Amino acid sequence: MLAVEYFGTMSLHVLPTADDLAAAAAARIADAINTTDRTFSLGLAGGGTPAATYRRLAKAEVQWSRVVMWLGDERWVPHDHEESNTRMARSTLVDHVLSAFLAPDTAFGDPEEAAAHYGDALREAFHDGRPDLVLLGMGDDGHTASLFPGTDALAAEGAYLATWVEQKGLWRLTASLPLLASAREIIFLVQGESKAGVLAEIIDDGRPYPAQQVAAGAANVHWMVDEAAASRLRSVPR
């Protein structure tokens, strides 16, 4: 694994394959939990990338009884829907370990109301109101969680919000930029050639995509990527 330190608050870890990435990320998460002696909040990313990490984490030696898991974002679909992040997180991790899991209720009322309720519940669950460790993915347009470029969601002040995502034709619930940036630690999990261009624009040029805005505002950020995603980085010694 190649690790490069930036400015003391951000590090880049390049792993040879997607499997190595999942193993390294699971090890980092397990270590962060096991070296903390209190209740630990773990924010889960949605989408497809993290599933391999969650499956490894479910088999790791972790003190799950102290962990509260929650979702960085959720699609406005029932929990048994194939697009549901709750469904993905439960099938790969949550249902296999003895930890608490807070999921947004996507079966009642309207998205804004559900987002507000969920944000209130999260604030209560976090140690000193701040998430401990948040896993985030990144789209090839630089979005993270459900904070998409050029949307009002990026300016939201509260903890959690509902946002209509035109390109997905769906309502989504998402942690706000300030909430994500308040995390004690963030791990961006990025894999695959399709992300290489936007990753290089963020790491090499600081292009203010939503993922970069979250990283820039946070205290301790690890970009954990595979070589395919890192393939267009100029700043990585070859």
Q: Is residue 212 involved in binding ligand 6PG (CB under 6 A)?
A: no
* Among positions 111, 139, 142, 210, the unique one binding ligand 6PG when judged by CB under 6 A: 139
Q: Which stretch binds ligand 6PG (CB under 6 A): 16-24, 45-53, 153-161, 217-225?
A: 45-53
* Among positions 53, 84, 85, 213, the unique one binding ligand 6PG when judged by CB under 6 A: 85
Q: Is residue 137 involved in binding ligand 6PG (CB under 6 A)?
A: yes
Q: Which stretch binds ligand 6PG (CB under 6 A): 101-109, 136-144, 159-167, 216-224?
A: 136-144
Closest-by-Cβ residue to ligand 6PG is 137
Q: Which is nearer to ligand 6PG, 10 or 45 (CB)?
A: 45
Number of residues that bind ligand 6PG (CB under 6 A): 14
Q: Is residue 73 involved in binding ligand 6PG (CB under 6 A)?
A: yes
Over the window 47 to 66, marking each residue x when it contacts ligand 6PG by CB under 6 A and - when it does not, the resulting string is: xxx-----------------
14 neighbors 224 (Cβ within 8 angstroms): no
Q: Is residue 45 involved in binding ligand 6PG (CB under 6 A)?
A: yes
Q: Which residues contribute to the site for ligand 6PG (CB under 6 A)?
A: 45-49, 72-73, 85, 137-139, 143-145
